[in-house]
Amino acid sequence: MTKKNSEAWKKKYEESGLRDADFSSISGRLLEPLYTWEDLAGSDPETRLGWPGDYPYTRGVHPSMYRGKLWTMRQFAGMGTPDQTNERYRFLLDKGQTGLSVAFDNPTLYGLDSDHPLAAGEVGKTGVAVDTLADMERLFAGIPLDRVSTSMTINAPAAWIFAMFLANAENHGIPFARLQGTLQNDILKEYIAQKEWIFPPEPHLRLITDLMVFCRDHVPQWNTISISGYHIREAGSTAAQELAFTLADGFCYVEHALKAGMDIDEFAPRLSFFFNSHLDFFEEIAKLRAARRIWARHMKKRYKAKSPRSWLCRFHVQTAGCSLTAQQPEINVVRTALEALAGVLGGCQSLHTNSMDEALALPSEKAVEIALRTQQINAFESGVATVIDPLGGSYYVERLTRDLEEEAERYFKRIDALGGVVRAIEQGFFQREITRAAYEYQMGLSRRKKILVGVNEFVNTGRRLEIPVLEIDESIERDQIRRLAEIKERRDNQAVRGRLEALRKAAAGSENLIPPLLEAARVHAALGEISEALVKVFGEYREQPFY
Amino acid sequence: MAEQRIKVIIAKPGLDGHDRGAKVVARALVEAGMEVVYLGLQQTPESIVRAAVEEDADVVGISILSGAHMTHFRRIKELMDGQGLGDRLLTGGGIIPTKDQAKLKEIGVEKVFGPGDDLQEIIDYIRHWRAAQAR
């Protein structure tokens, strides 16, 4: 094989005539028609790829990968009241799901009680409403929290939702040390993409560090933070932006914890990640492989972590909600299957597959079952879980992995030049980069540069296939508000006032806030009451609107 | 005679942080020659209608992916009618089930857009509405 051969092929390729199509990736990356050994020239596979379970972990975080343990099938779920969601969890566990993942409603995500004026119309709509410890108890009723791992998608009020979770475990006699799960607790990506914050960045970062310290000492099996690219991608970023911004957020958390005096090897093993899996199959796989390699290198070389467990980029993957279409919703099953496959080939530790009806509403039971079955087909029928990192060594995948890694490094330099992640957020850097990418993607669809089946091509005109969708009854809001009023009447209100005041004082000082939060949760202080106490000290955050 | 510029308010009511669609639509409308006032996140029906009055907007566009569309659209429509903006166009987009689209029609929100709808379709809808008004 010589250079001459490659030029001869190139000539034939150019003469052979091409389809009238766009040959860039979904992120706008220009792609070669063919990748060859020349693309890997000068790259030593032994050091660049290594072995599964060995630095730099390009090929996976475990030596045996899915032969040892399949990924956890974890469907994100939550709607309506805690009782309704509890019922859905039992349904999913019964169908073979292996972990829980809690979706909270919007008021909860903003740290507001269900009776807050801004909560009107939103209670229980896109997740479950949790106002007090009593709701937490109902949410997990009959579920063995010491045996099932629980992931909670909560960020701004993560510390006090976790306090309620701990108080509930306490009431059931489960020692904190036996609790397993993950708190998303990633506030930086909220400012960047998801937009659910309460305070300015610094107090939120303090709470995150407090939680890391608390969990190190008391809840050692808990993943304290799930550094998330998912929402960055959903907001319209490219694959490289998702990769770079997520890892940059990770570095920022590491630096805050180090500044607070923690030892890197004490907290880094409990950091986990959460990535999107979008439609561009190989680009997604490369992104996930690159994430492991970049994280390992920075943790080892830059932050001097000594424990190999600190070097691991372990991650959850969710298929791309933004790739689902309201048109011909059944075909979303196929999109999700491809995206899930990319997540698996990228070496994820857990996976959520979206349901076909999510461009229309929250998923129905039937749709969720199909989504879970999609994972099971990948795991048990397709054979992809049998061999470790099956695409390792592919000229294309290895080249893309390297390209994405280099792009991410270029972004890290730009972020550093802006003064770090928090300063870059304040300057709107990430937000602008993402908004621009989102617009370019949409224009690509509008101009039919990119094809979406059923949307701008192969459209079924005049016939809109209906699938049954889940409806959240308006009465749920009234019920939830009524229950909150009952709790507020029944609880020891003097104790609540005392503990909220103690919390406020602690916030004004510098002590760890998790113990006073736990104290408040135990006496049924409501989520929004706790937020209010903290806002008095920390203030609120406002974003300058732009487009 | 130059066509008078169409003025559009774009807003995200309630607690929904999904602003990708709102921003993309805002930018597309500007590129189509319209004037856009983007109010941003965490707006209330009151703040949106107040802005519509102050800006003398022709169109109010609401983006909701949180499921609270019925509550917000109903309230915004009431306020608009009460403030003498009954002749302005109220529209929007998000995750809105077909069944609710029919209910929105009943309260005077003729059309809303969803995932996958073309930007040009939104631009054309506003332009046609304007042309019908002028007649």
How confident is the model over A261-301, as pLDDT tens digits? Answer: 999 999 999 999 999 999 999 999 999 999 999 999 999 99
**What secondary structure does DSSP assign to A256-314, as a single string?**
HHHHTT--HHHHGGGEEEEEEE-S-HHHHHHHHHHHHHHHHHIIIIIS---SHHHH---
**Sheet harboring B35-43: ordered strands across?**
B35-43, B7-13, B59-64, B89-94, B112-113
Measured distance CA(A369)–CA(A382) in Å, rounded: 18
Q: Does A546 sit within 8 Å of B15, measured CB to CB?
A: no
pLDDT at residue A1 tops 60: no
Q: What is the pLDDT of residue B2?
A: 46
What are the residues facing B93 on neighbouring strands?
B63, B113
Is pLDDT at B1 greater than 50 in this prediction?
no
Mark yes or no for CB contact B118/A446 under 8 Å. Answer: yes
Question: For residue A409, what pLDDT is reported?
Answer: 98
B115 vs A359: CB contact, 8 Å cut-off?
A: yes
How does residue A508 score in pLDDT terms, banded at 50, 70 and 90?
Answer: very high
Single out the residue of B81, B73, B87 nearest to residue B45, CA to CA: B73
Min distance A509 CA to chain B CA atoms (Å): 30
Q: Which amino acid is at A173?
A: G
Give the mean pLDDT of A371-391: 97
Region B61-65: mean pLDDT is 95
Q: What is the pLDDT of residues A89-134, one digit of tens each?
A: 999 899 888 789 999 999 999 999 999 999 998 999 889 999 999 9
Using alpha carbons, select from B44, B39, B33, B41 the residue that is nearest to residue B16. B41
Q: Which residue did the predictor score with more confidence, A175 or A543? A: A175
Question: pLDDT tens digits, residue range A28-46?
Answer: 999 999 999 999 988 888 8
Average pLDDT of the segment spanning A510-539: 98
Which of chain A's residues have a Cβ under 8 Å away from the Cβ of B114? 326, 359-360
B20 touches A: beta carbon within 8 Å: yes
Domain boundaries, chain A: 50-446
CA distance A186 to A227: 6
Cα-only R_g, chain A: 24
- Chain A closest CA to B29's CA: distance in Å? 11
* Statement: residue B67 has pLDDT above 90: no
pLDDT digits (tens, 9 = 90+) for A303-320: 999 999 999 999 999 999
Pick from B20, B44, B67: which is nearest to A438 by CB? B20
Of the partner residues A195, A435, A464, the one whose CB lies closest to the CB of residue B17: A195
Residue A262 main-chain phi, psi, to 5 deg? -80, 155
| pLDDT classification of A462: cutoffs 50, 70, 90 | low
Per-residue model confidence (pLDDT) at position A470: 75
Percentage of residues of chain A with pLDDT beyond 70: 99
Whole-number Å distance between alpha carbons of A128 and A79 = 4
Give A200's pLDDT tier (boundaries 50, 70, 90).
very high
Query: What is the C-alpha separation between A157 and A109, in angstroms, rounded?
Result: 7
Which is more confident, B82 or A75? B82
Q: Which member of A235, A439, A452 has the closest CB to residue B116?
A: A452
Q: State the CATH architecture for B7-134.
A: 3-Layer(aba) Sandwich (3.40)
Contact state of A125 with B115 under an 8 Å Cβ cutoff: no
As to burial, measured by CB atoms within 10 angstroms (0-12 exposed, 13-18 middle, 19+ buried), residue A147 is: exposed
Whether residue A331 is predicted with pLDDT greater than 60 in this model: the reply is yes
Show the tokens assigned to A75: 């469907």
**CB–CB of B116 and A443 under 8 A?**
no
Residues B95-106, mean pLDDT to the nearest whole number: 92
Q: Which residues of A touch B71 (CB under 8 A)?
A: 120-122
Is residue A163 within 8 A of residue A514, CB to CB? The reply is yes
Q: What's chain A's average pLDDT? A: 94
Q: Which candidate, A181, A155, A391, places its Cα nearest to that of A283?
A: A391
Mean pLDDT over residues A146-162, rounded?
A: 95
On whether any CB of chain A is under 8 Å from the CB of B68, the answer is: yes
Mean pLDDT of the region B102-108: 95
Residue from B23, B38, B41, B46 whose CB has the most chain A CBs within 10 Å, to mutate: B23
Between CA B41 and CA A110 the distance in angstroms is 13
Q: Which class would CATH give A50-446?
A: alpha beta
User: Hey, where are the domains in chain B?
Assistant: 7-134
Partner B contacted by A442 (CB < 8 A): yes
Q: CA of B86, closest CA in chain A: separation in Å?
A: 23
ipTM exceeds 0.85, yes or no: yes
> pLDDT category, A74, cuts 50, 70, 90?
confident
CB-closest option in A121, A235, A464 to B70? A121
pLDDT tens readout for residues A387-437: 999 999 999 999 999 999 999 999 999 999 999 999 999 999 999 999 999
pLDDT of residue A465: 62
Nearest-Cα residue of chain A relative to residue B66: A126
- Check if A119 contacts B (Cβ < 8 Å): yes
More confident residue, A280 or A4: A280
